[in-house]
Amino acid sequence: MDYNIWTLTARAEEDPERVPVTSLYQSLQALSDKRRGQGKRYELALILSLLVLAKLAGQKTLSGATEWIRHRGGVLAQRFGLRREKMPCQMTYCNVLARVDDKHLDVLLSAFFTRWEAQSRCGEEPSRLHTPSAQADHAHIAIDGKTLRGTTQGAHPVHQLSCYEVATGTVLWHCNVGEKENEISALKPLLTSTCVSGRILTLDAMHTQRALCALVQQLGGDYLLIAKGNQPTLREDIADLLDDPFPDRRRWQQAETWSKGHGRLEHRQLLCSPDLNEWFGRDWVGIEQVFRLQRTTRLLKSGKMRHEVVYGISSLSLRQAPPARILELIRAHWAIENRLHYRRDVSLGEDSCQTRTGSVPSLLAQLNSTALSLMDHLGVRNVARQMRFLDAHLDQALNLLLTGQCSVY
């Protein structure tokens, strides 16, 4: 995979050769600033960096972040080379965030994390970028939507679609679903060859659509999709084949896994077949196999059992993705829920944030994702504990923002 793939889409004013690879603050300098020069006291990169810094230290609201920053004005002014110690007020943050180009911000952040990961992985040996293991780390992307619950009292709640690189924890882009559209229509223009080519896309059942399959194949990617009630005929046809008590299983393959944790024992069994490829091939472009996933869960404390059956399709052949690989991809897809959306809600308090002005909530959500991506690139396993550490050691938080170096607690 070409690690410059995201950098090439950045605007011309960003010169990757001049930007320190692991300095988020310096990377944000290339972000376009739509404000007038008159009365502008704080540069845009500084405003965003201060907010990310406060979030890394555990501040969950804009008012809390404002006060946290002001209490540390002296140290912050010294490290950022400012002539005055007075830090911005809350209204300044709102006004600035309302004018940020969120698309350009996504491009810069994706390019920054890609350069950082490439530098840490390869150093002075760029040929290592093209090894199978390096490419595999960037192959799987999960796409899912999340409503910012703090905005649900407004006329039009913010529903944000995110594209998440599962292995690295990098959010490649965000997109707000418009008032008169849904995730399906909002996603289509975001799927480009740059994003899709050479990757495996996993999405929830809402996106199991013929047009999506055709587009992903056209752009050089692969898909793994779940068939539920929105595609009843597809689901029934797969079930008729895989639930047949006397099938011809010569080309079928299966795998199973057991896992124990969080007070439950779970058994997953996956059965795959290529026998419906010709039947579905005309409508579902690129289909190479169908599968049935059976999950049986036993709650250890109560002994209660729960059984679930899920059907799906994939453009990955049995040679490319045998049942064990399909099981990995399905389970890995939940990283966008567990490592991104859940941590944004619980560790960063996103749903309880009451900021509702214009585009500010969605920009704060982007900064939440940025803080979590920084944690993932550092290898942090307990985000809440690391946030308490950074709150107590401001120098470490500043080092992370300015140099990319930080101790992991």
DSSP result, 109-167: HHHHHHHHHHHHHHTT-GGGGGSHHHHHTTTEEEEEEEE-GGGTTSSS--EEEEEEETT
The whole-model pTM stands at: 0.87
Does a structural domain hold residue 1?
no
Q: Which pLDDT score is estimated for 171? A: 93
How many Cα atoms are found within 13 Å in the side-chain-facing hemisphere of 57?
A: 25
Does a structural domain hold residue 311?
yes
Does a structural domain hold residue 188?
yes
Q: Which pLDDT score is estimated for 10? A: 35
Any idea what DSSP says for residue 380? -
Close Cβ partners of 217 (under 8 Å, ≥ 6 residues apart): 223, 285, 286, 315
Pairing of strands 222-227, 200-203: parallel
Does a structural domain hold residue 45?
no
Does a structural domain hold residue 138?
no
User: Number of structural domains, the chain?
Assistant: 1
Does a structural domain hold residue 388?
no
Residues of the chain with pLDDT under 50: 1-19, 126-127
Q: Which pLDDT score is estimated for 181? A: 87
Q: Which pLDDT score is estimated for 180? A: 78
Q: Which pLDDT score is estimated for 48? A: 97
**Amino acid, single-letter form, for residue 14:** E
SS (H, E, C) 313-365: EECCCCCCCCHHHHHHHHHHHCHHHHHHHHHHHHCCCCCCCCCCCCCHHHHHH
Range of the domain at 192: 170-339
Does a structural domain hold residue 10?
no
Q: Which pLDDT score is estimated for 5? A: 34
Does a structural domain hold residue 37?
no
CB-based contact 318:289 (threshold 8 Å):
yes
